[in-house]
């Protein structure tokens, strides 16, 4: 399965879709990873910086903007188990 990839060419589309609540979890992580890597997370409106900080704090993305997919997958699996049991 391929992961979503945010680039300079599609970042605006991702931001618009994020603002509209249309991104799934993987797409949100890809967007925030990109925003952290490029430094934009810290120059956009405050929500972006706060959300990026929370994602780093929870280990979903490192400070370099690299998404920690195994952490995300583990969290999704844990939530699924909690909801089914």
Q: To the nearest whole percent, how much of the chain has pLDDT over 70?
A: 95
pLDDT at site 79: 85
Give the three-state DSSP class for 44: coil
**pLDDT digit string (tens) for 22-34?**
999 999 999 999 9
How far is it, in rounded angstroms, from Cα 59 to Cα 78? Answer: 15
pLDDT at site 41: 98
The tokens describing 52, both together, are 């990026």
pLDDT at site 33: 98
**Sequence-distant (≥ 6) Cβ neighbours of residue 41 within 8 angstroms:** 32, 35, 48, 49, 51, 52
């Amino acid at each position: 399965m391929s992961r979503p990839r945010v680039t300079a060419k599609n970042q605006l589309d991702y931001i618009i879709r994020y603002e509209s609540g249309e991104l799934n979890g993987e797409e949100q992580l890809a967007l925030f990873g990109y925003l952290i890597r490029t430094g934009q997370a810290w120059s956009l409106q405050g929500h972006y910086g706060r959300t990026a900080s929370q994602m780093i704090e929870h280990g979903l993305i490192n400070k370099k903007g690299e998404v920690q997919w195994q952490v995300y997958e583990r969290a999704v699996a844990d939530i699924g188990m909690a909801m089914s049991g």
